Structures are given as C-alpha cells and as structure tokens.
Amino acid sequence: MPGEEIDLAALEALIFASEGPATAASIRRAFADLAPGSISPAVAEINARLAASGRPYEIAEVAGGWQFRTRPEYAEVILAAKPERKVRLSRAALETLALVAYRQPLSRAEIEDLRGVDCGGVMKTLLERDFVRIVGRRDAPGRPALLGTTSAFLQTFGLRALTDLPPLREVESLIRAPALEGEAEASALEPLAESVDAPPDEEEIRFH
C-alpha cells in the first residue's frame, strides 16, 4: 500500500543488525512503499521509547545513516572497561585531520604548505586508521592525489555529515589545549582496529 508506515520493531531490528549505519536507501529496500519522510520520525519514536524504558543506548544519525550507540553518559565506564581500545592521535595527526576535514580535498603538498612540516608519517597513520582516503587527482603536473575524509571518520566523531563539524576555531583551541600536549586522547571515539580496511599499499601512500 502506498504510504506504508514503518513497523517500528522491524526498523529497530534492521538498524541493530546493520554492520554500519543503515542508510535511507537500505531501509527503503526493506520496507516497500514507504511514506516519504517517515524514517526520521520513526527513529525518533523508537528513541523516545528507549529513553522511557531507561535503555542505555539510542539510535544516532551518523555518516548518512542510522546506527545504535550507547548514550554519552556511559562513555566513561565503557572506556574504562576497555582501555586498550581507546583511539589516540598525536597533536600533529589531529591538526592534519582537521585540515583535511575542513578544507578537503587537499593534496599532501598543500597540507605540508599549510602546516609547514613533512606530513608523510601522519598521513600514513590517518590512511591506515581509515580517517582519510584518496578521493581524486589534482589536474596538475604529476597529478597529485587528493585527500578527503571517510565514512569511518564521520562515524567515529558522531557526525551525520561534514556540515555538522563544529566551528573551526573551536577545533583549533581544542587541539592547542595543554591537555593535548604529546599524545592526544580522542576519548569519545570508538576504536577502528576491528573495522578498518587493510592499510593501503606503499604505492597509494606516496602522494607525489
């Protein structure tokens, strides 16, 4: 029937079983004749029921889809139970990742011009952790690779899309905070170790 309403239990099960964020396209494939604009209200209703029953998790809109996650107030106890799974990024890695996120697409040479230092090791780390990827080639001599952020980046930082990034000045002040000297801990991040793809080969890592 056109304009079919979503079975909330079935939608909850679909999102729960999805390996990554369940996209609107995948949900529409599962529910025939879905009423336009009905997914977000349905997710909101599920979340209201979860909150009313005191569940420690919710459905969040991240990386262009919907995914279960624990509520922020439980992050500390979860991280304390699994300290080996914390994602740590150096100040240099955070600065480089911020540049790519806010100014993408960028080539390695452009990033190094902006930072004033060699970024080869940092870029290798960000590629291996699946925070950035090669998104194209600059139409210039040597056709240097252009870098952009990934869906894993959005998922890790709890962003629906790049438009949800906070103002750049807030990120810059956070990166420069004394607490981030040496090695910076991204305490709100979920680990990528089990989910990242195999590191790119040496040919892909050379951006020149």
What pLDDT, in 10s, does the model give residues 90-133?
Answer: 888 888 898 899 888 988 888 888 888 888 888 888 988 889 98
Angle between helix axes 91-103 and 120-128 (nearest 10 degrees) is 70
| pLDDT higher at 208 or 138 | 138
Least confident residue range of 106-110, 136-140, 176-180 = 176-180
Confidence bin at 72 (pLDDT 50/70/90): confident
- Range among 10-14, 156-160, 179-183, 196-200 with highest mean pLDDT value: 10-14
For the cut 80, the answer to whether the pLDDT of residue 30 exceeds it is yes
Tokens of 152: 């894993």
8-76: CATH class: mainly alpha
User: What is the helix, strand, coil percentage profile of the chain, to 5?
Assistant: 45, 15, 35
Residue ranges covered by each domain of the chain: 8-76, 83-205
* Measured CA distances, 156 to 12, 67, 120, 185 (Å): 21, 12, 23, 13
Under DSSP, the state recorded for 4 is B
pLDDT in the model for residue 19:
81
Burial class (CB in 10 A: 0-12, 13-18, 19+), 149: buried
Indicate the helix (H) or strand (E) that contains 27.
helix 24-30
Beta strands per DSSP E along the chain: 22-23, 57-62, 65-70, 88-90, 106-107, 132-137, 145-149, 183-185
Cα–Cα distance for residue pair 119/98, rounded to 1 Å: 13
Q: Do domains 8-76 and 83-205 have the same CATH topology?
A: yes
| pLDDT higher at 170 or 90 | 90
83-205: CATH class: mainly alpha
For the cut 90, the answer to whether the pLDDT of residue 194 exceeds it is no
Share above pLDDT 70 across residues of the chain, in percent, rounded to a whole number: 75
DSSP 3-state of 61: strand
For the cut 80, the answer to whether the pLDDT of residue 137 exceeds it is yes
For the cut 60, the answer to whether the pLDDT of residue 185 exceeds it is no
For the cut 50, the answer to whether the pLDDT of residue 197 exceeds it is no
